[in-house]
Chain A
Amino acid sequence: MRLETILNLLIPAILLATALIASAMDAPYIITLATRAAILALAAVGLNFALGLGGLVSLGHAAFFGIGGYAMGILAFHAQTYAPLWGVIEGTRSMPVIWIVAVIASAFAALVIGALSLRTSGVYFIMITLAFGQMLFYFAISWPAYGGEDGLSIYIRNDFPGVNTLVPINFFLICFALLAAVMVLFDRLTKSPFGLALQAGRQNPARAEAVGLTPYRLRLVAFVISGAITGLAGALFADLNRFISPGMLSWQMSGELIVLIVLGGLARLSGPVAGAMLFVMLEYVLEGLSTYWHIYLGAILLGVVLFARGGLIGLVAGREVAHE
């Protein structure tokens, strides 16, 4: 087995083991941290479709994360107030239904934003995705129905058929299962004709077009898949905190998602997972060291960008991403 394949199995296994051991030792805070890492990893695997495979530096993925979060918040809000949305749509507290709505809503947003933004490339694309993210952020702030700037609390975590989601480890396992499923999807798609064509379009757009591929359509599909998965993660993140706010849509969130991927390793299957685990751990450790822990985070990030470009996976398994 190749080193990277071992890492791809080992890294999620460490996350799972951490949560299970914490559960056995009755340490719910550690389980919450592990859940947070799993959800951020899911969002970052989503972003990795666009960023890693497609080479699309989206600085607006918080938009999809937030849309997923608000999908959960709005449905659960109408369920908890028993007031149907626009007088017809009942709210729901069922996770699978919320997930489907979150995925569809964020996929649709990604389709619109992607169709417009992908007309451009390079630095324009970065700025435009950032601007669209900011547009939704300000919309969420100025729209008072769901808390506006203050956000919205949901009192009870939503239900999953047959599982008591109030038990921390159960909710972790739900998130972990979704993460695992999306990682399998990422792995399959990377090796599929679609994934190979997408990567060809990233590596050499002119040649890709010359052999008859249309990078615009490939990129749009990747962007939509990417947005949908990040939206799903947003719904889970809202359920973890039982709170939604415009903060989920902020540009810092978009930046952090990119940071997760690059800390772990760009375009690597388990890169975002390693990055999310490292990020949550850094957050936890540095926060304890100093109120001004963002300085250290910034310094570490700067160091990784300037001197360790392959990220964590790159340090261990080498820079090349080979295909079996």
Chain B
Amino acid sequence: MSAALLIEQLLNGLQFGVMLFVMAAGLTLIFGVMGLINLAHGSLYMIGAFAAAGAAAYTGSFWLALVAALMAAAIVGAIVEMVVIRRLYDRDHLDQVLATFALILIFSEGTRFVFGSLPLYLDTPSVLSGPTTLPGGIEYSKYRLFIIAVGLAVGAGLYGLIARTRLGIQIRAGEADREMIAALGVDIRKLYTLVFALGAALAGLAGAMIGAIQAVEVGMGEPVLILAFVVIVIGGIGSIKGAFVGALLVGLTDTLGRVLLPQVFGLVMDASSATTVGASLASMSIYILMAGILLFKPSGLFGGTP
């Protein structure tokens, strides 16, 4: 395997990783601040992708589609928070799992009802289509580089928001002691709606960006949701830094595993069984990674005591 191919796969892993980070950041923020496990986060990812595909078909502009995805996911997120999620904060995790599972059923079938069962497609804008040449002469997709850049920008933006702004102080204070900040005059209900809408918008952004690489279809959110869970379990629930490190670990392990494992097994067995065994193991690799990390750190890399 050539160095160029390896670098290309590393970049693919990075792109997958930052996309998972954008998903997982919202999830971990919502858990950290409100103590809520939200299975419907994948539905918001799907809503973002569908809003983008719909807006792109209507306006023809990818950039307007991205804006539409952010707005749609944030608005749906805010409405869901005010109607349903708000009632779940002081319930146990089982109720939260069930209620958000019910929301998945409603959103998935609702989307099928509005958009039909056929997958939609979203085109990359012409500025970002095709490959570009990286230093060292490696050809790589411009659009995937764009995703990496957006993901890193989201990471930096979130860091700035949480470490440097007044809203960030309130979010951190809300994580530490919700009664106290309510007593200090912060409108905690508004803060929760805002945090939920922010997480939803991030999920919608991830969905819209991936919608230009994959088909936009009902059920696209749940596999990503489960990977985002793996990410935040590895990183430590509630930690944005953990989500970032976990997402890159998962993205790289998954992508490189799929490329390298069949080759590694090819050294000791014939080509066709090496492909089979390698592919099967690669599909399990991130879960094995998760199990390995949990053996040593049950609360994740950056988590507190569980």
A contacts, CB < 8 Å to B: 51, 57, 59, 116, 119-124, 126-128, 130-132, 134-135, 138-139, 141-144, 251, 255, 258-259, 262, 266, 292-295, 297-299, 301-302, 304-306, 309
Contact with A along B276-306 (1 / 0, CB 8 A): 1001101110011011001100111000001
In the assembly, what is the distance between CA of A40 and CA of B303, in Å?
A: 37
Contacts between the two chains (Cβ within 8 Å), count: 124
* A151 vs B185: C-alpha distance when bound (angstroms): 58
Indicate if the CB atoms of B226 and A251 lie closer than 8 Å: yes
Report the bound CA distance from A324 to B95 in whole Å: 28
Given A122-B93, A251-B222, A258-B97 in contact, is the A128-B294 Cβ separation under 8 Å?
A: yes
B276 contacts A144, C-beta separation under 8 Å: yes
B222-243 interface mask toward A, CB cutoff 8 Å, 1 = contact, 0 = none? 1000100110110001000000
- Nearest-Cβ distance from residue A135 to partner chain B, whole angstroms: 4
Q: Which of A138, A251, A295, A299 contacts B113 (CB 8 A)?
A: A295
Is there contact, CB below 8 Å, between B108 and A294?
yes
Select which of B112, B280, B283, B287 is within 8 A of A132 by beta carbon. B287
- Can you list 8 A-B pairs, Cβ within 8 angstroms, ordered by A? A116-B295, A120-B294, A122-B93, A126-B93, A130-B226, A294-B108, A299-B102, A306-B99
Nearest B residue to A302, CB-CB: B102
B300, chain A: closest CB distance, angstroms: 8
Those of B88-121 within 8 Å (CB) of chain A = 93-95, 97-99, 101-106, 108-110, 112-113
Q: Which residues of A contact B222 (CB under 8 A)?
A: 251
Contact B233 A124 (CB under 8 A): yes
Give B residues with C-beta under 8 Å from A.
31, 37, 84, 87, 93-95, 97-99, 101-106, 108-110, 112-113, 222, 226, 229-230, 232-233, 237, 276, 279-280, 282-284, 287-288, 290-291, 294-295, 298-300, 306
Q: Is the Cβ of A124 less than 8 Å from the Cβ of B237? A: yes
Residues B98 and A305 in contact, CB atoms below 8 Å apart:
yes
- Report how far A121 CA is from B94 CA in the complex, Å: 13
Is A139 touching B105 in the complex (CB atoms < 8 A)? no
- Chain A residue at smallest Cβ distance from B99: A305
Contact B95 A139 (CB under 8 A): no
CB distance from B257 to the nearest CB of A (A): 12
Q: Evaluate whether A301 and B294 lie within 8 angstroms (CB atoms) in the complex, with A123-B93, A139-B283 already known.
A: no
Residues of A close to B283: CB separation below 8 A: 138-139, 141-142
Decide: B97 and A59 in contact? CB cutoff 8 A.
yes
| For the complex of A and B, 5 pairs with smallest distance between CB atoms | A298-B105, A135-B287, A298-B106, A301-B102, A138-B283
In whole Å, how far is B115's beta carbon from the nearest beta carbon of chain A?
A: 12
Residues of B within 8 A of A120 (CB): 294, 298-299, 306
| Distance of A124 Cα from B305 Cα, bound (Å) | 11
